[in-house]
Amino acid sequence: MKRFLYINIFLVAFLSCTIFSQNYNDALILSEPGLYTSARALSMGNSYTALSNDFSGVLFNPAGIGLIKKVQLAGGMNFNSFSNNTTFFNVQTNSSKNAVSLNQFGIVYPVPTLQGSWVFAIGYNRVKDFNRTLEFDGFNNANNSMIQDLTGEYNEQVPITNDLGLAYEIRDANTDQYIRDTTLIDGLLNQSGRIRKQGSIGKWSFSSSIEVAKGFFIGGTLNILSGTFKSDKDYWEDDTKNIYGTGIELVPGDPTTRDFETFYLNDIIDWNLSGWDANVGILYNWKDLFRFGASVKFPSYFTVKETYYVDATSDFGVSNGYALNPIVDKIEYGIRTPFEYSLGASGKFSILTLSGDVKIIDYTQMEFNKGFDSQYRIERKREIEDLFTTVVNFHAGAELVIPRLPIFGRIGIMYLPSQFAGDPSEFDKKYITGGVGVYLAEMFKIDLAYAYGWWKDFGDNYGINVSRTFQDINVNSFIVNFAVSL
């Protein structure tokens, strides 16, 4: 798998002559679609392109809101739980992280017309949640470490390991000219870490749909984007077997670097996000029995204001150790996400409604579109084109009306292939969904949805497959939506 060559949990590019640490991961974070915010849609596996007859239609297929006949006020809450089992050098560690948020509020307003329909909608949808966690702890009995990875002549401008008493310079004995940095650390350390990610992306949507012919609707949405993302990473390397604690001076001649105990690195990325995108769609409704829909989401244009922070310390048995003067870098740049093409169909058969969608996304279209010199953007674009592929996401769902009761039962599935070219199926995201809807007097409705997802992932702390974590990931999402029709 090509991505084995590039995956890194901890960003260390700041140690080179340029402090650019942005790579394809940043583009992917913003390009991968979220699960959206509608309980009804989620419980039907987000197979909603041919339905979209509630406020969330402004995101799935804005043409669908043309089916709404009454003024509608909508709101909702979301609960998300992320958990994983991480294997690191045959040691398993479990971790989990929860998030609760207000995820939707909006109004849909049908304009009175003599025939057909004309509908407007405005409101907010929280479309993506960055709630993630990872913990690992294991002994690496090989001759490699983060300390060694951070030590070298390419570090000369930011000599982090030198400043911590973990490495030293080698100079020519005659000219005193700098040759390189070196360290006496040669692996055999316990490595542990934890990562906490949080934040979200929301969209303020302005949407409209018009019935241009009987049963045929065209709609569009303009979205104003805002959000935050924060990744806080801690990493430790400990001499738990006292290999370097027998009086070894990591800097020869400096007794304060004797008896090495611990190296600690803290890496924080903090984003403030803004931007815009748009989507258009069409929908054909045949006698309220069969519906066919298609939509296009145009690329999102994000402006990322990033603060990048790095801190590190070292501990020795004979001294108080050393602390790095923290590195803080602020930068602003732009990311452009891919087009998303959706096709869907639904059919109503007595008390049963079936729906299905396919969504096509070419992830090689991701790019950094501003904020760096042209050569850097070209290199990132080549990296993206080499690593990623076009995927087809599959969604299917069913809705059953309980006879003589205003209750709807729903189930659904989602299959979202990995965006990385050549990945095996265990890296594909799989979801099963379900939910219920209760409609009271055709005026008030409550929709509840639950989604369970699972897949595998991996990451490298440094290098290639020398300090790798393997994750079994599970996510649980609950959404409750309320709507009042006036």
Burial (CB count within 10 angstroms: exposed 0-12, middle 13-18, buried 19+), residue 289: exposed
Radius of gyration of the chain (CA): 26
User: What pLDDT is attached to residue 153?
Assistant: 54
User: What pLDDT is attached to residue 159?
Assistant: 76
Q: How many CA atoms lie within 13 A of 125 on its CB side?
A: 27
CB 258 within 8 A of CB 247: yes
Of 32, 43, 34, 33, nearest to 479 (Cα)? 43
Q: Which residue matches tokens 């974590």?
A: 469
Each residue's pLDDT expressed in tens, for the chain with a length of 486 residues: 444 433 343 333 333 333 345 678 889 999 999 987 899 999 999 999 999 999 999 999 999 999 999 999 999 999 999 999 999 999 999 999 999 999 999 999 999 988 889 999 999 999 999 999 999 999 999 999 999 999 975 554 567 899 999 999 998 888 989 888 999 999 999 999 999 999 999 999 999 999 999 999 999 999 999 999 999 999 999 999 999 987 899 999 999 999 999 999 999 999 999 999 999 999 999 999 999 999 999 999 999 999 999 999 999 998 889 999 999 999 999 999 999 999 999 999 999 999 999 999 999 999 999 988 889 899 999 999 999 999 999 999 999 999 989 999 999 999 999 999 999 999 999 999 999 999 987 789 999 999 999 999 999 999 999 999 999 999 999 999 999 998
Q: Left if phi > 0, otherwise alpha if psi is -120 to 50, otherwise beta: which for 432?
A: beta
Length of the chain in terms of residues written: 486
- Alpha carbons 451 and 109: distance in angstroms, whole number: 30
Backbone angles phi, psi at 26, to 5 degrees: -65, -40
Give me the helices (H) in 334-421, please: 374-387
CATH number of the structural domain 2-146+182-485: 2.40.160.60
Output the CA torsion 32→5→180→187 (10° steps).
100
Model confidence pLDDT, tens digit, residues 345-386: 999 999 999 999 999 999 999 999 998 888 989 999 999 999
Model confidence pLDDT, tens digit, residues 281-326: 999 999 999 999 999 999 999 999 999 999 999 999 988 899 999 9
CB 100 within 8 A of CB 78: yes
CB 265 within 8 A of CB 46: no
CB 221 within 8 A of CB 62: yes
- Alpha carbons 308 and 21: distance in angstroms, whole number: 9
- Alpha carbons 357 and 394: distance in angstroms, whole number: 6
CB 384 within 8 A of CB 335: no
Of 65, 63, 69, nearest to 53 (Cα)? 65
DSSP secondary structure letters along 10-70: S--GGGSSS-----HHHHHHHHS----S-HHHHHTTT--TT---STTHHHH-GGGGGG--S
DSSP secondary structure letters along 70-114: S-EEEEEEEEEEEEEEEEETTEEEEEEEEEEEEEEEEEEEEEP-S
- Alpha carbons 124 and 120: distance in angstroms, whole number: 14
pTM here is 0.91
User: What pLDDT is attached to residue 115?
Assistant: 84
Burial (CB count within 10 angstroms: exposed 0-12, middle 13-18, buried 19+), residue 253: exposed
CA-CA distances (angstroms) from residue 343 to 8, 282, 283, 294? 35, 10, 10, 4
- Indicate the DSSP class of residue 365: G
Give me the residue spans of the domains in the chain: 2-146+182-485
The alpha carbon of residue 136 and the mean position of all alpha carbons in its chain are separated, in whole angstroms, by 20
Of 104, 105, 106, 101, nearest to 130 (Cα)? 101
User: What pLDDT is attached to residue 15?
Assistant: 38
- Alpha carbons 86 and 309: distance in angstroms, whole number: 26
User: What pLDDT is attached to residue 114?
Assistant: 82
